[in-house]
Homo-oligomer: A and B are copies of this chain.
Amino acid sequence: MTSGTPPALAALGASSQRAARLLAGATSHAKNQALVLAAEMLVERAGEILDANGRDLQGAEAAGATPTQIDRLRLDPARIESMASGLTEVAALADPVGEVVEGWVRPNGLRVERVRVPLGVVGIIYENRPNVTSDAAALCLKSSNAVMLRGSSTAIESNRAIVGVLRAAVAGAGLPSDAICLVDDTSRQGALAFMRMSGVIDCLIPRGGAELVASVRENATVPTVIDGDGNCHVYVDASADLDMALDIVVNAKTQRPGVCNAAETLLVHAGVAEEFLPRAQAAMPGVELVGDEGARRVLPDIAPASEEDFATEFLAPKLALAVVDSIDAAIDHIQRFGSGHSEAIVTHDLMAADQFCAEVDAAAVLVNASTRFVDGGELGLGAEIGISTQKLHARGPMGLRELTCTKFVVRGTGQVRQ
């Protein structure tokens, strides 16, 4: 830890490390009991949480927060129920800790195993959604990690109330309540000190906008997993079934435009652009379209797309269109503008599907399916703590397993090296 860590934060870190050491040996039974108890207690103590949330909302309104910010911050009984059911869902997931990932015997008789173990202390730095507090805490607890939660100042009252409930539940199940700690210092200086707790935080995960991610990239000295942007593409190949392509494009763009696995750009092969683009336009009347020259030859009424448009994760009902002459041009466009999240091709051509899967460098590539499936639950991985767009450690939906690492366990009968 750098010498600049404020004493209160350093003390919190030491408590987290002690809790992590105890948690490493916790049974699944105890962890699940804590999660189920926490779910019950969240609902029982909803009044107290809503009161705290009310104080945060008052503060945010007084500070001139936008309606979107207010909506993200707001809790209501339904949202608390949803946080509680998230906890019981995590209780139902398989425990990754203790899994023997692989093992073998060496010629000298040494038995080698790689065993899955917790990371230790996980840091989460996030913005004003109070539900992240319980979601992240649940996944960390289930994977036997202690968690240090550093939310925003706007949500501090809500987070204190939620963490208070969670800690009581953890203690109620006989586990150390310091397994879940809230960082009280929500200053910018405090955030920087948090990102630099080397030797204490084993993995830091930012959950928030581009500015937060950039600050973590720039300032963190602890290992990080970045939950990054999703500038996702759908490429409609010359050989695509255009009915299927239409379903996929409409779903990828409109089913939930504000999330990272929604499509932001539609690439269409020149051979089918004249037929497909008008159908796409007609099928998404509420979506603002902008296009390159090729797209505007087919749809002259749409505005031109700038380079900036192609590089932007709109997170809104807006779609950039480009017409490409070949699958190579489509892949080039994706490599240039994509953020390495989720990229889809619609095609009936086996060679095109294989080339796309091999050459597109992203966490997930999809053939004839909507980008919206790139999500821990939809892919069958269980609840996720984020979707990693980096390559180290975790790539794509990051679930319980990605909150662990492995340790070599080597058993011998007195072997020494020659």
Chain B residues closer than 8 Å to A410, beta-carbon distance: 364-367, 369, 373-374, 379
A380 at the interface (CB under 8 A from B): yes
A407 at the interface (CB under 8 A from B): yes
Given A248-B416, A369-B411, A395-B406, 14 extra CB contacts under 8 A: A112-B380, A198-B217, A202-B391, A252-B416, A353-B411, A357-B409, A364-B410, A367-B409, A369-B412, A369-B415, A370-B416, A370-B417, A373-B415, A395-B405
The answer to whether B24 and A361 have CB atoms under 8 Å apart is yes
Comparing A5-13, A77-85, A218-226, the segment that makes contact with chain B is A218-226
CA distance A280 to B341 in the complex (A): 57
A358 at the interface (CB under 8 A from B): yes
Chain B residues closer than 8 Å to A244, beta-carbon distance: 414
The answer to whether A414 and B248 have CB atoms under 8 Å apart is yes
The 4 A-B pairs of least Cβ separation, nearest first, read A369-B412, A251-B416, A364-B408, A372-B417
Closest Cβ neighbor of A388 among chain B residues = B405
A362 at the interface (CB under 8 A from B): yes
A76 at the interface (CB under 8 A from B): no
CA distance A60 to B390 in the complex (A): 40
A258 to chain B, nearest CB (A): 14
Interface code A278-304, partner B: CB below 8 Å = 1, 0 otherwise?
000000000000000000000000000
Among B218, B225, B373, B417, point to the contact of A392 (Cβ < 8 A).
Answer: B225
Chain B residues closer than 8 Å to A51, beta-carbon distance: none
A259 to chain B, nearest CB (A): 11
CA distance A244 to B110 in the complex (A): 15
Chain B residues closer than 8 Å to A104, beta-carbon distance: 380
Count of chain A residues with Cβ under 8 Å from any Cβ of B?
A: 68
The answer to whether B414 and A369 have CB atoms under 8 Å apart is yes
The answer to whether A363 and B416 have CB atoms under 8 Å apart is no
Chain B residues closer than 8 Å to A417, beta-carbon distance: 251, 255, 370, 372-373, 378
A222 to chain B, nearest CB (A): 9
The answer to whether B221 and A368 have CB atoms under 8 Å apart is no
Known: A365-B407, A410-B365. A393 touches B392 (CB 8 A): yes
A119 at the interface (CB under 8 A from B): yes
The answer to whether B364 and A407 have CB atoms under 8 Å apart is yes
Chain B residues closer than 8 Å to A353, beta-carbon distance: 411
A3 at the interface (CB under 8 A from B): no
Give the one of A358, A369, A370, A412 with max B CB within 10 A: A369
The answer to whether B225 and A363 have CB atoms under 8 Å apart is no
